[in-house]
């Protein structure tokens, strides 16, 4: 037997892969079964109606949904007989197809959370029943259950559902509460910085990505997390069911990501791999507590792999960790990452309201409030920094809301959050390509050539070691508005086409092309005065 002498550099990746596999497996085990409400009704004239709803995490919720369907049928059709009422576990491929957009062989109508198909030996009779259902639902003043003939593509409805004013008021209250808490805690950090300077300061000129004028506290994530915790407690007090409980689960899941980052802020001794693994662990908690698993990407072939739960969970963990790391990468100047996230979260909150999801609406507004409270001290004066704790917490929150939007609402295209987050994601991928292929260096090697840094060099056209701190701070704060404008250019088409995958994909590809063109123009125009002669 040949002994294996593995060095530290070799053992670390192997251990990381083993840990990732173990956590993904545990998340799959804890994720448990999904229950699908399934009811079959025999109506008059040899027509059968088959109701199938989206999966629920708890058997009790599924049984309640089945009972509600059965009661509604009895109330509206006294001659109908309920032949089957059950909570199905794993769906057969034919039933999975019913819940998709793919054409099927029978007439069907969309339900708010599922589908109903019309079965009969007489296909014309089944289609007539389907169209009669559409007519009756439309005549009652509600949203008509659009009838899809056999072999027709069945897109998910994009018409907004109702959103009660009380839900909007709760969300705005949470935004205000979170913001006030965040701004107060940030004030305490800045006011008493002398007490914690030895371990909280981010020193100047200690790395290629330091562009601030004076040592600054980098524990702004504490204010953000404090605001979220206070809002979570308030939500549980006023809404102990659904939204409050789910918000608590989301907050609990975010703790590993936050702890990994804030520990690095304090000790300066937590590696990128460790922080990434902790964020993936947070994503695993999201799978367990909230069912936050990416269900599809609207990519042929890849969506088939996502139907296998272990792969979907592992991919979700990897994607959430990647987004969190990408947010940390763009957190380079005053207000940049936080302002970018406010725009993204506002778009997510808007679409959450359109589809009637008060949990995601409130969660987005809570983080917006926390970031606005932080920005009061961060932009433009740079009195406090988000730090790794804040950046990884923010990245995890954005990624989880993205996953939940798609997992909970099939009418939302997975490319809606992708377009909103395309800037940090493509920034990360482009930087890895630039460092590895063009520079021949490690992809994890820090440098001064991210897009926001190239924008800074182009705006200043001067050396970065300016002696005047006020002047350096002003130049630092000039970068963020340009990135915010880029984010708006993605948010507008995302809001216009949030259910249209083809347009969202086109907009994402257009942004990537524009990014490369802008980067090359900025680099070449600044090369002579600010940048090195090689990428």
CB atoms under 10 Å from CB of 85, counted, come to 17
Residue 300 confidence (pLDDT): 86
Please give the DSSP secondary-structure letter assigned to residue 263: H
Query: What whole-number distance in Å separates Cα of residue 209 and Cα of residue 332?
Result: 7
Long-range contacts of 462-467 (CB under 8 A, 24+ apart): 462/529, 462/530, 463/530, 464/211, 465/205
Residue 532 confidence (pLDDT): 44
- Tell me the helices (H) and strands (E) count for the chain, helix number first: 20, 8
Query: What whole-number distance in Å separates Cα of residue 447 and Cα of residue 477?
Result: 20
CB atoms under 10 Å from CB of 328, counted, come to 26
pLDDT digits (tens, 9 = 90+) for 317-343: 999 999 999 999 998 899 999 999 999
pLDDT digits (tens, 9 = 90+) for 139-198: 666 667 788 999 888 887 655 555 566 678 888 899 999 999 999 999 999 999 889 888
Ranges of residues in the chain whose predicted pLDDT is under 50: 1-3, 207-209, 213, 464-465, 530-535
Nearest to 345 by CA among 158, 178, 518, 516: 178
Query: What whole-number distance in Å separates Cα of residue 374 and Cα of residue 445?
Result: 29
Residue 534 confidence (pLDDT): 41
């Amino acid at each position: 037997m040949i002994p294996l002498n593995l060095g530290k550099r070799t053992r670390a990746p192997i251990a990381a892969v083993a840990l990732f596999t173990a956590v993904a497996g545990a998340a799959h085990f804890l994720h448990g079964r999904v229950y699908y409400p399934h009811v079959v009704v025999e109506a008059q004239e040899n027509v059968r109606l088959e109701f199938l709803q989206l999966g629920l995490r708890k058997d009790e919720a599924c049984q309640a949904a089945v009972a509600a369907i059965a009661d509604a049928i009895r109330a509206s059709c006294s001659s109908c007989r309920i032949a089957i009422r059950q909570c199905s576990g794993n769906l057969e491929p034919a039933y999975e197809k019913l819940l998709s957009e793919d054409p099927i062989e029978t007439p069907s109508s969309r339900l708010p959370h599922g589908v109903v198909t019309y079965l009969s030996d007489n296909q014309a009779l089944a289609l007539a029943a389907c169209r009669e259902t559409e007519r009756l639902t439309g005549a009652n003043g509600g949203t008509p259950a659009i009838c899809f003939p056999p072999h027709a593509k069945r897109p998910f409805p994009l018409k907004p559902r109702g959103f009660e004013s009380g839900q909007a008021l709760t969300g705005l209250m949470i935004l205000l509460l979170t913001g006030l808490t965040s701004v107060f805690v940030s004030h305490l950090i800045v006011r008493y910085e002398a007490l914690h300077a030895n371990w909280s300061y981010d020193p100047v000129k200690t790395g290629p990505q330091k562009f601030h004028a004076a040592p600054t506290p980098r524990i702004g994530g504490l204010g953000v997390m404090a605001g979220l915790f206070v809002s979570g407690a308030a939500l549980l007090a006023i809404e102990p069911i659904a939204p409050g409980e789910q918000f608590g689960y989301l907050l609990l899941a975010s703790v590993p990501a936050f702890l990994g980052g804030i520990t690095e802020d304090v000790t300066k001794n937590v590696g990128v791999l460790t922080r990434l693994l902790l964020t993936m662990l947070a994503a695993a908690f999201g799978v367990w507590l909230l069912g936050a698993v990416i269900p599809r990407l609207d990519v042929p072939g890849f969506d088939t792999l996502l139907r296998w739960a272990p792969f979907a969970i592992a991919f979700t963990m990897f994607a959430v960790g990647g987004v969190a790391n990408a947010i940390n990468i763009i957190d380079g100047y005053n207000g940049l990452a936080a302002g970018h996230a406010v725009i993204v979260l506002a778009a997510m909150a808007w679409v959450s309201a359109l589809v009637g999801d008060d949990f995601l609406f409130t969660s987005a507004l809570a983080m917006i409030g926390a970031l606005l409270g932080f920005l009061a001290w961060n932009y433009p004066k740079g009195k406090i920094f988000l730090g790794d704790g804040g950046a990884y917490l923010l990245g995890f929150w954005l990624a989880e809301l993205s996953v939940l939007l798609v997992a909970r609402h099939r009418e939302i295209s997975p490319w809606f959050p992708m377009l909103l987050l395309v800037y940090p994601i493509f920034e990360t991928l482009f930087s890895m390509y630039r460092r590895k292929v063009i520079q021949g260096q490690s992809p994890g090697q820090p440098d001064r050539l991210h897009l926001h840094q190239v924008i800074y060099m182009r705006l200043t056209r001067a050396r970065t070691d300016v002696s005047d701190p006020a002047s350096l701070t002003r130049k630092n704060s000039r970068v963020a508005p340009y990135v915010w404008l880029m984010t708006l250019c993605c948010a507008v088409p995302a809001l216009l086409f949030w259910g249209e995958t083809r347009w969202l994909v086109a907009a994402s590809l257009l942004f990537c092309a524009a990014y490369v063109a802008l980067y090359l123009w900025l680099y070449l125009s600044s090369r002579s005065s600010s940048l090195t002669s090689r990428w």
